[in-house]
């Protein structure tokens, strides 16, 4: 087997691999930008919390409609939005900060989700919901993931300027009457949608990996928000492609393979990253005359 064959043949030979690759591309386009903005808002752990929050909703969908795409999707979206809104309300009306109140809600959600699935299904179902089955992505799931990525891209493009300003200088945005809170809410909806899209393919626990890890990598390579988004999409898609190959050749589960590849890129970025990487701090580049 040549290298080229090893890299291309799995996708040429098997339709399920091609579908998985397209799903990864859609996830990269949808989740990459959202992850970058989460990171810049210092809400990296928020994605994690929300992904757990999706679980009980998906479980309720699963109990109501079995392993049905739409049941679990709608349940996941509903649960994610409820937790996001509740956590926001708690942090606004009590002394708890948003990250702390989210932690409270997502721990409860995770426990509730595991409880629901394990009392109403078998452990295989639980594994499916927690870790997804990207190799079993069917046409309907592909349309859902692609649709969410498209919607997310269009909405993000539309609210890009206020959203970036809300991250960069929220006090300024408030002082000029730019309704930052509204865009924050729209953005949270996008986070939930993209997590639900990722959950189809990677499961609730792994979906956030393809959202945050590429974003963290991008911080080490790009200087502005727009270029960071580009890097994040590239890293996410490359992780999806390489992760699928790893999964295929080594018979490893696909979700963890993809996220581990992204984690490896993250490790490399920490060491070699052009902006603030470890080596960049050690190796002195020759400086300019002026």
Partner 1 sequence: MSRSAISLENLTVSYDRHPAVHHLTGGFAAGSLTAVVGPNGAGKSTLLKAIAGLLKPDEGRIACGAEIAYLPQVAEIDREFPIAVADFVAAGAWSRCGGFRALRVDVGAALGRVGLESFAARGIGTLSGGQFQRMRFARLILQDAPVILLDEPFAAIDARTVADLMRLIGAWQAAGKTVVAVLHELDLVRAAFPETLLLMREAVAWGPTRAVLTPERLAAMRESAMRFDDDPEICTLGGAA
- Indicate the residue among 42 and 249 with the shorter CB distance to partner 1: 42
Helix (H), strand (E) counts: the chain: 13, 0
Q: What angle do CA 25, 193, 153 make, to 5 degrees?
A: 55
Q: Using CB under 8 A, which of the segments 46-54, 114-122, 154-162, 202-210 binds partner 1?
A: 154-162
CB of 223 to partner 1, least distance (A): 5
Q: Would you call 4 exposed, middle or buried from its count of C-beta atoms within 10 A (0-12, 13-18, 19+)?
A: exposed
Residue 63 in the binding site for partner 1 (CB under 8 A): no
- Indicate the residue among 66 and 181 with the shorter CB distance to partner 1: 181
Say how far apart CA 271 and CA 280 lie, in whole Å.
8
Tokens describing residue 15? 């339709």
Q: 174-203: which residues touch partner 1 (CB under 8 A)?
A: 174-178, 183
Residue 157 in the binding site for partner 1 (CB under 8 A): no
Residue 211 in the binding site for partner 1 (CB under 8 A): no
Cα atoms found within 13 Å of the Cα of residue 214, Cβ hemisphere only: 32
Residue 40 in the binding site for partner 1 (CB under 8 A): yes
Say how far apart CA 58 and CA 75 lie, in whole Å.
5
CB of 191 to partner 1, least distance (A): 19
Which string of b and e fits 206-235 if b means at least 16 CB within 10 Å?
Answer: bbbbbbbbbbbbbbbbbeebeebbbbbbbb
Residue 283 in the binding site for partner 1 (CB under 8 A): no
Residue 13 in the binding site for partner 1 (CB under 8 A): no
Nearest to 72 by CA among 199, 225, 231, 180: 199
Q: Which of 8, 64, 89, 168 binds partner 1 (CB under 8 A)?
A: 168
CB of 217 to partner 1, least distance (A): 14
- Indicate the residue among 142 and 159 with the shorter CB distance to partner 1: 159
Residue 65 in the binding site for partner 1 (CB under 8 A): no
Residue 156 in the binding site for partner 1 (CB under 8 A): no
């Amino acid at each position: 087997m040549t290298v080229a064959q090893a890299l291309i043949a799995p996708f040429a030979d098997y339709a399920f691999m091609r579908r998985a690759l397209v799903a990864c591309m859609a996830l990269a386009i949808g989740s990459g930008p959202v992850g970058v903005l989460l990171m810049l808002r210092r809400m990296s752990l928020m994605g994690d919390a929300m992904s757990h929050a999706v679980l009980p909703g998906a479980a309720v969908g699963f109990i109501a409609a079995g392993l049905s795409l739409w049941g679990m999707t709608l349940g996941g979206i509903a649960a994610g939005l409820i937790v996001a809104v509740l956590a926001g309300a708690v942090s606004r009306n009590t002394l708890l900060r948003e990250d702390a109140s989210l932690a409270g809600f997502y721990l409860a959600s995770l426990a509730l989700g595991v409880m629901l699935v394990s009392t109403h299904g078998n452990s295989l179902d639980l594994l499916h919901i927690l870790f997804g089955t990207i190799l079993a992505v069917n046409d309907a799931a592909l349309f859902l993931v692609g649709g969410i990525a498209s919607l997310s891209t269009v909405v993000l493009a539309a609210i890009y300027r206020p959203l970036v300003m809300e991250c960069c200088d929220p006090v300024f945005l408030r002082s000029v009457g730019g309704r930052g809170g509204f865009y924050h809410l729209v953005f949270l909806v996008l986070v939930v949608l993209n997590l639900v899209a990722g959950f189809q393919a990677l499961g609730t626990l792994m979906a956030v990996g393809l959202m945050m890890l590429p974003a963290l990598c991008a911080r080490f390579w790009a200087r502005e928000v727009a270029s960071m988004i580009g890097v994040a999409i590239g890293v996410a898609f490359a992780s999806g492609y390489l992760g699928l190959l790893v999964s295929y050749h080594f018979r490893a589960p696909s979700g963890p393979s993809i996220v581990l590849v992204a984690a490896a890129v993250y490790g490399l970025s920490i060491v070699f990253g052009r902006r603030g990487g470890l080596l960049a701090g050690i190796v002195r580049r020759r400086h300019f005359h002026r």
